[in-house]
């Protein structure tokens, strides 16, 4: 018979008091640590909003009356997955939620944490809930990096409500998070901040004397502001870090720090280019890009492509220009040009920048180097002009639809001849009244072969031959 195992135990009240004191001491240490770190932390960390009213951006989920805002204000938060690009406010929003709901905020990073860290956090949350009645928000940054076992370790406590899980990820959670965990969470997609929103955030940092740069006298040039907002590409962290570097490294003159465009360029390590997305430079550069491809100069086309990419142009705008050029200026001289251009459009949307620059460059170089023909463009332009200005022709009886009941009685499709039943899959047949020619293949590239076939068929049609 096995001997009973004797375990050390506390009296229930004593154990509770001991655990309460331990948790209280841990919270005190955490607060002291945060205060100490806060003094030396980067501007982006110090300026993190503490309430919903301070939070900038994400109006589609946090605006008045929106679901997430209502849930936060009513203290009815359930587990969440926050999905969006870097610097859009995922971590900040989690902390704001914790402040607004008076919950304890625990944080893990999936890159540096394992199952043991998860279990420790969950055990602390159970004690906090049991002894102090306080909820715990467990924020896991880059949660997509947790493997299946690590994600499964969260399931029981999420299910029981021991913790409110907030996961942050830059990847689509439907592809990177386990289905059971996903089904117990609400998913909110955050978007990149606009340039105007970034300017508001930077202006606030310049005014704030307690947490920001308000103790400095800074004269900020408008073009410097615009450059930081543009180049930061919707990332508030990047914008604030560049702002802080510029202010702290610029020597004041007469007590004033002049934050100019060159300072902004140096602070964010990216040169400003003259490129107004809504102005002349935008359209001039796009025009030069298309004309360089049309003019068979791949080097020039790639330069203008690089300028647009560097300036932050939407890759979809660039891809659409490439597709248009492939159809209008290359056409059937090289039918593969349009196939490649369309592939570049789809791939660039799928992978996004910076990798999208590769398929865009490939398509640009191919189209610029391809034989050129605008015969298809001229053909449809002339046909459209005739439809617009001349009498609209009706469809001949033998070409009309004969697939529905009663069509034969109306003479629909009568006497139509199926070309595949004849030699060379061609038979003389009128497909429209008149003999006007619209499509005139050029002597470039593959259109040489198209021209040979059309000349042969047109000759047979005009001579009366059937095949």
Residue 352 is assigned to a structural domain of this protein: yes
Report the pLDDT value the prediction gives residue 28, as an integer from 0 to 100: 45
Q: What is the pLDDT of residue 15?
A: 45
Which pLDDT score is estimated for 275?
A: 55
The number of distinct structural domains making up the chain is 4
- Residue 280: the pLDDT is 57
List all residues 6 or more positions away from 19 whose beta carbon is below 8 Å from its beta carbon. Answer: 127, 131
The reported pLDDT for the residue numbered 2 is 43
User: Of 275, 337, 336, 338, which is closest to residue 304 (Cα–Cα)?
Assistant: 275
CA–CA gap between residue 228 and residue 265 (Å, rounded): 8
Is residue 165 assigned to a domain? yes
58 and 183 housed in the same domain:
yes
Is 377 a domain residue? no
424 lies in which domain range?
394-463
**pLDDT value of residue 464:** 56
Q: What does the angle CA 99 – CA 240 – CA 228 come to, to the nearest 5 degrees?
A: 140
Domain co-membership, 287 together with 235? no
Please tell me the predicted confidence (pLDDT) of residue 270.
61
Q: Are 141 and 172 in contact (CB under 8 A)?
A: no
Please tell me the predicted confidence (pLDDT) of residue 277. 53
The whole-angstrom separation of Cα 97 and Cα 101 is 6
pLDDT value for 63: 92
pTM, two decimal places: 0.56
Q: Is 262 helix (H, G, I), strand (E, B) or coil?
A: helix
Considering the domain architecture, whether residues 93 and 153 belong to the same structural domain is answered as: yes
E strands, 160-286, in order: 164-169, 186-189, 218-220, 257-259
On whether both 365 and 305 belong to a single domain, the answer is yes
**Which residue is listed with tokens 């955050």?**
190
Domain boundary among 268, 300, 320: 268
pLDDT score recorded for residue 16:
46
Average pLDDT across each block of 10 residues of the chain; the chain has 467 residues. List them in order: 40 44 47 55 91 92 93 89 90 88 87 90 91 89 90 90 91 87 92 92 94 93 90 87 93 93 84 54 83 91 88 86 94 93 89 87 93 90 84 77 77 81 83 79 88 84 62
Q: What is the pLDDT of residue 186?
A: 93
Q: Judge whether 351 lies within some domain.
A: yes
């Amino acid at each position: 018979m096995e001997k009973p195992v004797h375990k050390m135990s506390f009296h229930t009240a004593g154990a509770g008091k001991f655990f309460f004191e331990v948790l209280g001491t841990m919270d005190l240490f955490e607060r002291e640590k945060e205060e100490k770190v806060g003094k030396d932390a980067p501007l982006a960390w110090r300026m993190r909003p503490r309430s919903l009213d301070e939070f900038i951006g994400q109006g589609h989920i946090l605006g008045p009356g929106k679901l997430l805002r209502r849930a936060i204000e009513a203290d009815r938060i359930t587990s969440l997955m926050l999905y969006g690009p870097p610097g859009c406010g995922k971590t900040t929003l989690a902390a704001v939620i914790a402040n607004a709901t008076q919950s304890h905020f625990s944080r893990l990073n999936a890159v540096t944490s394992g199952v043991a860290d998860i279990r420790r956090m969950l055990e602390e949350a159970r004690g906090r809930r049991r002894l102090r009645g306080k909820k715990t928000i467990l924020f896991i940054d880059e949660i997509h990096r947790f493997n299946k076992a690590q994600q499964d370790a969260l399931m029981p406590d999420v299910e029981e409500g021991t913790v409110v899980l907030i996961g942050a990820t830059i990847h689509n959670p439907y592809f990177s998070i386990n289905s059971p965990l996903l089904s117990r969470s609400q998913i909110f997609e955050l978007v990149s901040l606009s340039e105007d929103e970034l300017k508001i955030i930077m202006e606030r940092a310049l005014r704030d004397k307690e947490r920001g740069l308000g103790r400095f006298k800074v004269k900020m040039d408008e073009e410097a502001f615009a450059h930081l907002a543009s180049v930061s590409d919707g990332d508030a962290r990047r914008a604030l870090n560049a702002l802080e570097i510029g202010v702290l490294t610029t020597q004041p003159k007469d007590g004033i720090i002049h934050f100019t465009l060159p300072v902004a360029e140096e602070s964010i390590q990216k040169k400003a280019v003259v490129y107004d997305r809504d102005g002349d430079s935008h359209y001039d550069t796009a025009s030069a890009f298309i004309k360089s491809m049309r003019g068979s100069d791949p080097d020039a086309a790639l330069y203008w492509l690089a300028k647009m990419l560097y300036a932050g142009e939407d890759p979809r705008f660039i891809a659409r220009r490439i597709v248009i050029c492939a159809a209008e200026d290359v056409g059937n001289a090289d039918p593969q040009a349009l196939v490649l251009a369309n592939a570049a459009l789809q791939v660039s949307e799928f992978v996004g920048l910076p990798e999208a620059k590769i398929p865009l460059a490939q398509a640009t170089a191919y189209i610029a180097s391809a034989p050129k023909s605008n015969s298809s463009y001229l053909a449809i332009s002339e046909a459209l002009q005739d439809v617009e200005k001349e009498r609209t022709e009706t469809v001949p009886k033998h070409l009309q639809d004969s697939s529905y009941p009663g069509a034969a009685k109306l003479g629909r499709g009568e006497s139509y001849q199926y070309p595949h039943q004849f030699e060379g899959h061609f038979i003389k047949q009128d497909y429209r009244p008149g003999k006007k020619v619209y499509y005139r293949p050029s002597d470039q590239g593959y259109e040489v072969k198209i021209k040979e076939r059309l000349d042969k068929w047109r000759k047979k049609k005009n001579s009366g031959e059937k095949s």
